[in-house]
Structure 1
Amino acid sequence: MNTESEEIKQTTAPVGEPAAVETSGTGSPKKRGLNLPNQLTMFRMLLVPLMVAAFSFDHWLSWWNYLAAGIFFVADMTDIVDGYIARKYHLITNFGKLMDPIADKLLFCSAFVMMTWNGMLNPILCIIFVGREIIVSGFRLVTANSGKVIAANWLGKLKSTLQVIAILWTLLGNPIFSRWNFAFDFGVMCTAAVFTIWSAIDYIIANKNAVNWD
C-alpha cells in the first residue's frame, strides 16, 4: 500500500518580489509531475487490462493462467515497492493517496471477477471480496470530510496477504498440494473470505465515530 509523496505546495511571493523556488531536501529544485511511486501506481493500473486480457485467452493459450498469475504478481509487487519508496524518501502526495488504493481495488476486483468468469472462483466468494471493497470505499468517502487519517491495520494487511496467496495459488493450479488431492487453494480462498468480512466489520466499527450520523 502506497503512502506516497509529500504534498507539493505552491509558494507565492509579495508583489514585486520573485516567487520562491521549491526545493527538495538536497537543495535542488523539485520537479513537478509524477514521482517514481506515482509512476509505479499508474503502471499497476495499466497492468490491470493486460491481466484481464490474459484471462480471456483461456481458449487460445494453454498457459494463460501462468500469464495472468505473472501479471498479477508483478502488479502486486509494484504496490509493495511504491509504498516502500514513498515512505523511505518522503514522497507522499495527495495523488498517491487517492490513486494507490484505487489501483489496488481495480487489480484485486478484476482478478476476482475474471476468476469467477473462468469458473475458478465461487460466485459467493467473489461477492464477498468485491462487496467488501465497495462497502469500505463507500464508508471511506463518508468519513472523508472528518479529517481523520485512517491507516491500514494488521487485519487489513493480513486480509490482503491471504488474498494474494489465494489468487496466485488458484491461478497456478494448486501447486505442491494437488498431488495429494488437497484443495489448499480453496482453503486459502475461504480463509481470505473470512478475514475479508472480519476486516470490513473491524474497519467500520473502528471509524464509526468519524461519521456524522445526523
Structure 2
Amino acid sequence: MNLANRITLARIFLVPIIMVFLLIKVPFPNIRIEEFSITYNQIIAALIFIIAASTDSLDGYIARKRKLVTNLGKLLDPLADKLLVTAVLISLVEMDKLDAWIVIFIISREFAVTGLRQIALLEGSVLAASKWGKAKTAVQITAIISLLINNFPFNFLDIPFDVIASWLAVIITVYSGFDYFVKNKHVINFAEKTQ
C-alpha cells in the first residue's frame, strides 16, 4: 500500500477518536469566555477533525506528485471523506447543534453518489470526484468546524456564520449531486441496458 493510501486510511481511523471526544463525556473542565462556552472535548474533537480533514488535500497531492494514483485510492478517498463528515454531522445532531433535515439531505446525496459509483464499477470504471464534489467537501468541513467551536469568533460579532455555512453546505451538496449525475448519465444508461 502506498503512502497516499496510508494517509487516507489514517483519516478513517481518526473518525472513532473524534466520536469519543464528541459523544463521551471525558472529564475536562469547561472553558468560559464571556458568552462563549465550549468544552475541552469539543476543542480536541475540532482539532482532530481539522487534522483529519487536512489529510484529504495531502493524500491527493502526494498521489499526484509521486504518480501514486490508484483505483484503490480513488475509492478510499471519497469513502474516508464520507465517513469523517457523516460521523461528525450525526454527532452534531445528537449534540443539538444541527437540524436533522440538513444531515438527511447531505447523507442522501452521499448514498446516491455512492450508488452511482457502484454501478460504474460494474461497468469497469471508477468515477473520480468532481470540482463541485471537492467544493461540497470544503464547505461542509467549514460548517462543521464552525459548529464544533460554537461559531467562534463570529458569535462576538453577532454573525450567524455557522448557520450560513450550514445552509451553503446543503445547497452546494444538492447541486454537486445533481451535477455528478448529469455528468455521469452514461453510467445510468449502462445500468438500464444491462437489466
- Where on the TM-score scale, by shorter chain, does this alignment land: which range? 0.7 to 0.9
Residues 170-189 of structure 1 mapped to structure 2, 5 A cutoff:
170-189=147-166
Shift of 1:87: 0.4
Give the Cα–Cα distance (whole angstroms) in 1 for the partners of residues 72 and 127 of structure 2: 16
Separation (CA, whole Å) in 2 of partners of 1:38 and 1:153:
19
1:14-163 correspondence to structure 2 within 5 Å: 34-58=1-25, 60-61=27-28, 62-163=39-140
Quick one: distance in 1 between partners of 2:75 and 2:138?
A: 21
Deviations 1:133-163 (A, max 9, x none): 1111011111223344533222212111111
Displacement of 1:179: 1.2
Instruction: Report the more deviating stretch, 90-99 or 109-118.
Output: 90-99
Higher strand share: 2
Give unmatched runs, 5+ long, in structure 2. 29-38
User: Are the aligned partners of 2:78 and 2:129 in contact in 1 as well (CA < 8 Å)?
Assistant: no
| Paired position in structure 2 for 1:200 | 177
Q: Which structure carries more helix by proportion?
A: 2
8 Å contact kept, 1:136–1:200 = yes
- Secondary structure of the structure 1 residue equivalent to 2:51: helix
Quick one: which amino acid aligns to residue 47 of structure 2? Answer: G
CA distance in 1, matches of 2:83, 2:115: 15
Report deviation, 1:112: 0.6
State TM-score, norm by structure 2: 0.87
CA–CA distance in structure 2, aligned partners of residues 39 and 154 of structure 1: 23
Measured on the aligned residues, the alpha-carbon RMSD in Å equals: 1.6
Contact 2:74-2:128 within 8 A present in 1 as well: no
Q: 1:208, 1:56 → 2: CA distance?
A: 40
Cα deviation digits, residues 79-130 of structure 1 (max 9, x gap): 1111101100011223222222211111111011111111111100010111
Contact in 2 for aligned 1:54/1:64 (Cα 8 Å): yes
Cα contact 2:106–2:173 (8 A) shared by 1 = yes
Partner Cα distance (1:57, 1:79) in 2:
26
In the alignment, the residues of structure 1 paired with residue 181 and residue 72 of structure 2 have an alpha-carbon distance, to the nearest angstrom, of 24
Quickly say closer, same or farther: Cα 1:161–1:181, change in 2 above 3 A: same
Find the residue that maps to 1:186 and give its secondary structure. helix
State the alpha-carbon separation in 1 of the partners of residues 77 and 95 from structure 2.
Answer: 27
